[in-house]
Amino acid sequence: MRIEVCIEKISKISQVLSKVLKGIKPDPFTDPRYYPPKNEDPESVSRFFFFMVAIDHRVSRPSKPYIAEINGEVYEGADLLYRLGKITYDEDPSFFDPNRLKYISAHDIKKKFDISNAAIPDPETRAELLRDAATKLLEFYKGEVINIIKESKNFLKHKGRGFIERLRIFKAYSDPVEKKSYLLAKFLERRKILEVKDWWNAEVPVDNHLVRIAFRLNLVTLDKETENRIRRYEEFKWHEDVEIRLAIRLAYKHLSKTLGISPFYLDDFLWLFGKRCCNTEKPVCKSRCNDKCYEIKGCIENCIFLELCKEANATRPITKYNYYSTWYY
């Protein structure tokens, strides 16, 4: 397998993106539907994000979307996960106490995160990740997420003792590409709990949305055999998944440097773009812009990258590679 970063394409994409980013404000992650309110106790907020991100992976599966209506509003995927997490935070705040979570069962997970016909996949794995996270948080950090930040001295990476590096002891945060770790760092930084000192070590949290966008925009180039395997939806292996996502993370690092912005801010756009416009089955280049798509400023009835996207004219645009047996992302 060969995968390489395409610097020339990154330069062209940055020219378009620099105009669009002016209309996108950094998400403060204070939407009351999904997150704890402003001015909440920092440790309570930190625990909410620490434990929610730990189980934030693969909530929708092929032919089995994780979707439900709550009070007249439809939530899907991660939106539904965090909506139910916030309801739990409001109605049963002690749920996020590590002394309680170290005993959590799959049945407990289903009680909190199943609703109507939406059933969260792999409740056993999610319960295991929470038990591990809670147990080690109590053992190594006196049960407080704030202590991880204090001991890291607000460095993401620093001689093996930065925030991202300290998270590696937790099974949920053991991904070599550090998707959940950087997502947690992004949440806590926006809530002004983590004050990042070493922005040069920031990365985008690479999930399936970011992988799909990178493939379609040709931010990375693949050898023909690997590309054909993806299109045939053949299953990939652990080491191949890591290699692909590391290359994609590097491509986005180059893009953020070219734009002169933080990878966290770039991720705000990428996540919105991946969900609203460049989605899996009905990207706007194959359908049409919609109300949610218009949240991204600068488009004129079609994708802002239409002229640069190698998949825009494909009968079936490349989506993502087949690798579902993971709790990394």
DSSP per residue over 243-305, as a string? Answer: HHHHHHHHHHHHHHHHHTS-HHHHHHHHHHHHHHTS-SS--TTTS---TTGGGSTT-SSS-TT
Q: What pLDDT, on a 0 to 100 scale, did the predictor assign at position 302?
A: 83
Q: Return the ∠ at Cα 190 (arms to 185 and 31), rounded to 5°.
A: 115
- CATH code of the domain occupying 42-198: 1.10.340
pTM for this model (two decimals): 0.95
Q: What pLDDT, on a 0 to 100 scale, did the predictor assign at position 299?
A: 66
C-beta of residue 58 within 8 angstroms of C-beta of residue 122: yes
d(CA 260, CA 254): 10
Backbone angles phi, psi at 280, to 5 degrees: -65, -55
| CATH 1.10.1670 residue spans of the chain | 3-26+203-295
- Residue 246 corresponds to which tokens in the numbers above? 């590391």
CATH class of residue range 3-26+203-295: mainly alpha
Q: Name every residue whose Cβ is closer than 8 Å to that of residue 300 and which is 6 or more positions away in sequence.
A: none
Q: Return the ∠ at Cα 272 (arms to 267 and 273), rounded to 5°.
A: 95
Q: What pLDDT, on a 0 to 100 scale, did the predictor assign at position 282?
A: 82
Task: From first to last of the 329 residues of the chain, give the pLDDT tens digit.
Answer: 999 999 999 999 999 999 989 878 899 999 999 999 999 999 999 999 999 999 999 999 888 999 999 999 999 999 999 999 999 999 999 999 999 999 999 999 999 999 999 999 999 999 999 999 999 999 999 999 999 999 999 999 999 999 999 999 999 999 999 999 999 999 999 999 999 999 999 999 999 999 999 999 999 999 999 999 999 999 999 999 999 999 999 999 999 999 999 999 999 999 999 988 998 888 888 777 766 665 666 666 789 999 999 898 888 788 888 998 899 99
d(CA 215, CA 235): 17
| CATH 1.10.340 residue spans of the chain | 42-198
